[in-house]
Amino acid sequence: MSQVFRRDGYTGASLADLANAVGLGKASLYQKFPDGKAQMGAEVLAEIGRSFETEVLAPMREPGPVDARFAKMLAGARKFYDDGKLSCTLDTLSLGEAGRLYQEALSQAIKHWRDALTDLGQEAGLPPTRATAWAENVVITIEGALVLARAGNDPNIFRRALKRLSQGSASRIADSK
């Protein structure tokens, strides 16, 4: 189901496609998800959140040099977004009815990502406000690149953005102050 929501968004995800994605008929889908599409979307967000935590956020909390952990986060993002071929659910589930249903979960996801990057930036020696600005720039760059890659049907946009980010790690920025 996550692929359907990532590909089609909440409004565009048809029950037929969602049922097909889990190998059920529509009636069985409603038995499994009695609260309908809203419940399906919430469960998909939770599943994607767990994967994001493992692949993108956790590497930043591992022991080791800041630059190496940042590089692991970028590699995790590359894998998580299938090298720029997968849309971000923050984008596809933030509009219309889905935006109202999942606003709090989406807001928390961005906050966790930004906070983890801010902590990494501070660990690299950036002052708190500069670390937050750096963290926001990283998230904006990745999310913006995903939108452009999807809209332009060109995942290379995402790859180039990650490459640029890898050249501007927090410790390099802190060393240049």
> pLDDT tens across 127-139, in order?
999 999 999 999 9
Q: Is 143 exposed, middle or buried (0-12, 13-18, 19+ CB in 10 A)?
A: middle
Q: Which tokens hold the place of 52?
A: 């994001």
Structural domain range at position 124: 38-175
Assign residue 23 a region (left: φ > 0; alpha: ψ between -120 and 50; beta: otherwise): left
Q: What is the pLDDT of residue 77?
A: 98
**Residue of 117 and 26 predicted with greater confidence:** 117
Q: What is the pLDDT of residue 61?
A: 96
Q: Within a domain: residue 44?
A: yes
Q: Within a domain: residue 26?
A: no
State the DSSP H helix or E strand holding residue 3, giving kind and residue range, or none if neither. Answer: helix 2-12
Q: Within a domain: residue 63?
A: yes
Q: Within a domain: residue 99?
A: yes
> pLDDT tens across 144-176, in order?
999 999 999 999 999 999 999 999 876 666 665
pTM of the model: 0.89
Q: Within a domain: residue 159?
A: yes
Q: What is the pLDDT of residue 146?
A: 96
Selection from 171, 12, 114 nearest residue 3 by Cα = 12
Q: Which tokens hold the place of 78?
A: 């590359």
> pLDDT tens across 68-110, in order?
999 999 999 999 999 999 988 888 888 889 989 999 999 999 9
Q: Which tokens hold the place of 82?
A: 């299938």
Q: How many domains does the chain have?
A: 1
Q: How far apart are CA 23 and CA 1, in angstroms?
A: 10
